[in-house]
Amino acid sequence: MQPALEAALAELVLGPKLDPRDAGQVRAWLERHQIPAGDQQAILDTELERLLVYRELVQSTLKGALLRAIPRSMARLGSVFDEYFARFLNERGPKTHYLRDVAGELLDYMSERVGSDARVPDYWLDLARHEALHIEIAATPVRAQRAPAAALDLESGLGFSESVRLMRYAFAVHTLDDDPASRSEPSRTKTDILAYRDREHDVRYLELTPFATAILQRLLAGNSLKYSLIAAADELQVSLDDATLSATAALLADLAERGVVTVPIAATRDSSDHDPDRATLAAEVTPPHPPSTKHD
């Protein structure tokens, strides 16, 4: 009996709205879930109106969480967003216990469906994911145990703040106005963003060059500094000359200052067969210890 009641309640709360004045519709809902006749009558007599109020409370709470996470994205779609929100609740529903994660689940659902919908701008998913990133990063719990520090070496990897996210967009959505009323459109420009929480717990965004992205992708995956450099250079056909190595050293030093890079750690992955000039790379790429001053 309990599973049947739970299934009936889930449909009532997340599915299409029931009209309490339509006795046939209400009876059909109860029959679908095989609710016994006695319980059906009790629900009709005393519980239905209260359950419908509960439905409105749940849906308004979920909608409010989304409005805090992706206000500009919701405003740009208007009633089309409401349509997808209703479909999401009816077809899948949130699985998470945390309101902050509802936006991510909804966007995963929509990403499978909006591509063929001419009412949804091509850039919309990039914008929505960029907006949702703020709450995700702000709420990331501090890691209880960090990887043990290792001596900084080309064979070692780098530890990163638990809040770090590397995002890749097809549009420059980070340049859009923060005003939900704005309808300006971003340029179709491939954009890589490193998002993180700084030492003052503010969420920050750093636009990356393709080479910086290629290096950080590999470091975040647990590869060694040596492998990450060489593989990134091979991928983008970049020469590991003095200028490139100096720029890489400056990048890592900047990330250390921002609190993005924490400590050197033992690499967990390394598939490189290359053996560069270790003395040159070590001299050029070794980042300093993080300074105490904040870098904006």
38-91 pLDDT tens trace: 888 888 888 888 889 999 999 999 999 999 999 999 999 999 999 999 999 999
Same domain, 108 and 177: no
Residue 234 is part of which domain span? Answer: 156-285
Same domain, 160 and 52: no
Q: How far is CA 286 from CA 46, 139, 143, 217, 282, in A?
A: 72, 31, 25, 18, 6
- What are the percentages of helix, strand and coil residues in the chain, rounded to 5? 55, 10, 35
Question: Any residues with CB less than 8 A from the CB of 10 and at least 6 apart, and which?
Answer: 93
Same domain, 102 and 195: no
State pLDDT tens for residues 190-246: 999 999 999 889 999 999 999 999 999 999 999 999 999 999 999 999 999 999 999
Q: What is the pLDDT of residue 1?
A: 61
DSSP 261-275: EEEEEE-SB------
- How far apart (Å, rounded) are the C-alpha atoms in residues 189 and 221? 25
**Which phi and psi angles does 269 have, rounded to 5°?**
-140, 145
The separation between CA 3 and the C-alpha centre of its own chain, rounded to angstroms, equals 33
Least confident of 120-129, 150-159, 253-262, 282-291: 282-291
Same domain, 161 and 279: yes
State pLDDT tens for residues 140-192: 988 756 555 555 678 888 889 999 999 999 999 999 999 999 999 999 999 99
Q: What is the pLDDT of residue 233?
A: 96
Cβ-based neighbour number of residue 127 at 10 Å: 21
Total domain count, the chain: 2
The domain boundary residue, chosen from 120, 148, 177: 120
Is there a domain that residue 212 lies in? Answer: yes
Is there a domain that residue 193 lies in? Answer: yes
> What is the model's pTM?
0.83
289: phi > 0 → left, psi -120 to 50 → alpha, else beta; which? beta
Q: Highest mean pLDDT: which of 173-177, 268-272, 289-293?
A: 173-177
At residue 254's C-alpha, the angle toward residues 249 and 157, to 5°, is 60
Q: Which residue has the tokens 């077809």?
A: 91
Q: What is the pLDDT of residue 3?
A: 85
Cβ-based neighbour number of residue 199 at 10 Å: 12
Is there a domain that residue 25 lies in? Answer: yes
- How far apart (Å, rounded) are the C-alpha atoms in residues 8 and 13? 9
- Name the residue among 292, 288, 262, 289 with its Cα closest to residue 147: 262
Same domain, 275 and 211: yes
